Structure 1
């Protein structure tokens, strides 16, 4: 089993064999997910495809023109001042 030490700054170096199995390289992010059944955290790569976002936002009831979008942005900006 691979192990690591937590530094005084809360940092951990992920062992090379774990990085290789997870497909991680420099600059990649990881997520810590709590497994409710076991109470343990799981470390998983935070690598999501843009296509995974499809369907998060539903289509508008009616098409919106660029002019309408620009007007809404300008109105929101004016009310924020």
Structure 2
């Protein structure tokens, strides 16, 4: 098992074998993901911007600012 020591500033040096295994280079970002069992996994944050394509679809019909404001006003009035 590979270990690292946390400094007084909360920093660690990721050991070379872990960096190599994850394909990390200087300047790369990592994510700490909490698992169901409460432990954390370290994964490279390498999602390219192009991965977001198609995440949000354009509406079938255009909506005007007036229509948006009307719906917001209606929703606001119904939650009081």
TM-score normalised by structure 1 residue count: 0.70
Show structure 1 runs of 4+ deviating over 2 A. Answer: 60-63
Count of aligned pairs between the two proteins: 63
Two-structure CA RMSD over aligned residues (Å): 1.7
Counterpart in the other structure of 1:17: 17
Measured in 1, the distance between the counterparts of 2:60 and 2:6 equals 51
Q: 1:46, 1:62 → 2: CA distance?
A: 35
By how many angstroms is 1:58 displaced?
Answer: 1.5
**C-alpha distance in 2 between matches for 1:27 and 1:62:** 43
- Indicate the SS of the match to 1:51: helix
Structure 2 unaligned segments of length 5 or more: list them. Answer: 63-80
C-alpha distance in 1 between matches for 2:41 and 2:15: 15
Q: CA separation in 2, counterparts of 1:7 and 1:61?
A: 53
Q: TM-score, normalised by structure 2?
A: 0.70
Shift of 1:3: 0.3
Structure 1 gap segments, 5+ residues each:
64-81
